[in-house]
A and B are shown apart, each in its own frame.
Chain A
Amino acid sequence: EDKVVQSPLSLVVHEGDTVTLNCSYEVTNFRSLLWYKQEKKAPTFLFMLTSSGIEKKSGRLSSILDKKELSSILNITATQTGDSAIYLCAVGTQGGSEKLVFGKGTKLTVNP
Chain B
Amino acid sequence: AAGVIQSPRHLIKEKRETATLKCYPIPRHDTVYWYQQGPGQDPQFLISFYEKMQSDKGSIPDRFSAQQFSDYHSELNMSSLELGDSALYFCASSLGQVRTQYFGPGTRLTVL
Q: Contact mask A74-112 → B, CB, 8 Å, 1/0?
A: 000000000000001010100111111111110000000
Contact pick for B100, options A34, A103, A104, CB 8 Å = A34
Residue of A nearest to B4 (CB): A42
- CB-CB under 8 A for A42 and B58, given A97-B31, A97-B48, A99-B48: no
- Do B102 and A45 touch across chains, with their CB atoms under 8 A apart? yes
Q: Which of B69-77, B79-87, B103-111 contacts A (4 or more CB under 8 A)?
A: B103-111
Residue of B nearest to A32 (CB): B98
Question: B45 at interface (Cβ–Cβ under 8 A)?
Answer: yes
- Do B50 and A43 touch across chains, with their CB atoms under 8 A apart? no
- Do B104 and A96 touch across chains, with their CB atoms under 8 A apart? no
Interface residue total, chain A, C-beta cutoff 8 A: 24
Interchain CA distance A95-B54 in the complex, whole Å:
12
Q: How far is the CB of B4 from chain A (nearest CB, A)?
A: 8
- Do B45 and A100 touch across chains, with their CB atoms under 8 A apart? yes
- CB-CB under 8 A for A43 and B97, given A97-B48, A99-B45: no
Q: How far is the CB of B60 from chain A (nearest CB, A)?
A: 11
- Do A42 and B56 touch across chains, with their CB atoms under 8 A apart? no
Q: How far is the CB of B42 from chain A (nearest CB, A)?
A: 4
Interchain CA distance A15-B90 in the complex, whole Å:
31
User: Which residues between 43 and 59 of chain A lie within 8 Å of chain B, taking CB atoms?
Assistant: 43-45, 48
Interchain CA distance A32-B4 in the complex, whole Å:
22
- CB-CB under 8 A for A88 and B55, given A42-B105, A45-B100, A98-B98: no
List residues of chain B with CB within 8 A of the CB of A105: 42
Binding site for A on B (CB under 8 A): 4, 31, 33, 35, 41-45, 48-50, 54-56, 58, 90, 94, 97-106
* A-B pairs with beta carbons under 8 Å apart, 18 shown: A34-B101, A42-B4, A42-B104, A43-B90, A44-B103, A45-B102, A45-B103, A96-B48, A96-B55, A96-B97, A97-B55, A98-B94, A98-B101, A99-B45, A99-B56, A100-B43, A102-B42, A102-B44
